[in-house]
Amino acid sequence: MILPPPFVPPDTVFYGVGVGHGVAIGPVHIIHSIKIRHSRYKLTSTSMIEPEIKRLREARQSTHQKLSAAQEALPAELLSKDGDIFSTHLMLLNDPYLFTQTEKMIKEKRLNAEAALVATFDQYIKTISSFENEYLKSRLYDLETISNSLVSALQEREDGNRVSIQEGSVVVSLELNPSEVASLPPGLVRGIVTERGSQTSHSALVAQAIGIPMVVGVQGILGVLEHGDLLVVDAIEGHVIHNPDRDATNFYKSRKSAQDSYKVEINRCAHLPALTLDDHKVAVMGNLELVEELPAIMTSGGEGIGLYRTEFMYLTKQALPTEEELFGIYRRVVETAHPRPVVIRTLDLGADKIMGITGSEGSKQSQALGLRAIRFCLKHLDIFRTQLRAILRASVFGRLSVMLPMISSLDEIRMTKEILADTAEGLTREGHGISPGIPIGIMIEVPAAVSLVDELAAEADFLSIGTNDLIQYSLALDRTNPDVADLYQPFHPSILRMVKATIDAGRARGLSVSVCGDMAAEPTSAPILVGFGADTLSMPSGSIPTIKRIIRMSSYEEIKQIADEILTLSTTEESKKLIRGHLKNRFRELDLPILTR
């Protein structure tokens, strides 16, 4: 937890999670969330079925029109960057399964449209809730938003809760959906605070896109606020201050001014190469999960896609994606990124998720240690070959590499390479074009892979270190479990030494070595990774300008010395103290959050 300055009374501070960078100060405007209630009744005759289905279809069309209008309402300069932020909502509205199931429920169970719709969406939400994928869990509110919007359309309701918002206000609500956030232009609203939400929700992404500082997950704040109260929103540190005194207000006004200058500076330099003061080049790329995130990576200065997670297509429908569906998405990504490279990670899901789609029973055991990632793919070759065929076909449209997750043995690499070769041969016989010599890399994210890294590197074209899983598997903890969250330590000496050993093994073989976990996106750890010898860092788009700026202000020889010194330390706190001291000396003008801790 990052504390505000000591002169701020503790009882005025509320903590949450900051979204993006920035500080806002303004009067409170509360938007009360209205829970949509719906009627539930049985259709008493068959003659009522068709009119009810017609109501559903009209509500779907009306919701689609409103959502498209909200998308178009984004400022013109943001349309290319984040205009597709509503694509997932539109995709849900276009999903034939959801509405076929709803209509089926109306016909077979004789339910009214509202009840059938809510039942279908609730089942969908229940399925997503069972996933271990944190990113997909953060989309639950987006699903609820669409469900509520459709029910509102069926009941022909409008939200009468909105009143005129005073210019310069800080909007506070239980939660806001993306279209609501998009309707709050920066010229009118200075900041947003919600009791619910996550950093990766679509609402948060929209707030980032239109430049409004936002803090989510501020539990209990609505219970103490009144309209017109003064509020400070610190999206950098993730806290909110209620009715600050003069000293606190002046402090945050000064901080806001400094942050505004900082943002202008790093964005101005974002498209410059990540070249150190002594001319050492580092490739800074973006992590991609949804296609709509791609423009943001490019406009933030990303030099390619260092990690394209491909799981989303398998989890947004109640059926496995077809080869053509996968090929269409992969081609779009590769073509759009060209001439920048794209590293596609093959499916990294557990049997509990995929088997649920196919109708088979998946294991109820923890998939963190179960049949997931490459293990699952090698057990279910039909699913794996479908994805590989789509990837290989997309390869001719740009610079594409294949990356295999959770590798722990040589057999897994060799088997996959054989399957890839056989799949490529079959596609060639069918007349499909395939790029020759597609690089095949592996992710190092389990201790066994670190122990075998010399042998594994001999079979791979590149290595990528997935620090998130490497940390949790090495330290024997679940990073989503709050009881052990404080033990999740990227600066644990064993983690640093494993990362260094992996980079050394790759470089000894002349391989490119990237880091694509959270450590690559953190100002504290990114310089250490560069000092260890990583030649590529891959991260969310919002982190790219800051990390590139830090690299450009660094001396490679200096951070190599610090990286060598940190390997001699025996505790996490010693490692943190060393890097914190370096950042304070070198980057004080950047006003990074780490410098205030």
Q: What tens digit of pLDDT does each residue of 67-98 get? A: 776 666 554 444 444 444 566 677 778 777 78
State residue 345 phi and psi, 5-degree precision: -85, 130
What is the predicted pLDDT for the residue at 596? Answer: 43
What single letter denotes the amino acid at residue 381?
L
Q: Could you report the average pLDDT of every consecutive run of 10 residues in the chain (597 residues)?
A: 75 86 88 70 91 92 79 50 57 80 92 91 78 61 77 68 73 82 74 83 70 88 91 90 92 84 79 95 92 84 95 76 95 95 91 49 52 90 96 97 96 97 96 95 96 97 95 82 75 96 97 93 92 95 89 94 96 91 72 46
Active-site residue set: 202, 516
Where is 258: in which H helix or E strand?
helix 246-268
What is the predicted pLDDT for the residue at 148? Answer: 81
- Torsion region of 301: left, alpha or beta (phi above 0 gives left; psi -120 to 50 gives alpha): left
Provide the terminal-to-terminal Cα distance of the chain, rounded to the nearest Å.
9
Whether 25 and 190 have beta carbons less than 8 Å apart is answered as yes
What is the β-pairing status of strands 283-288 and 512-515? unpaired
Whether 195 and 31 have beta carbons less than 8 Å apart is answered as no
Q: For each of the domains in the chain, give its residue range(s) and CATH number, in order of start.
A: 10-33+160-257 (3.50.30.10), 46-154 (1.10.274.10), 269-596 (3.20.20.60)
Torsion of CA 295, 299, 304, 306, to 10 degrees: -80
Please give the Cα distance from 20 to 13 (Å, whole number): 19
State pTM to two decimals. Answer: 0.69
What is the predicted pLDDT for the residue at 427? Answer: 97
Please give the Cα distance from 72 to 579 (Å, whole number): 44
Candidates 477, 469, 421; CA nearest to 449 is: 469
Where is 504: in which H helix or E strand?
helix 493-508
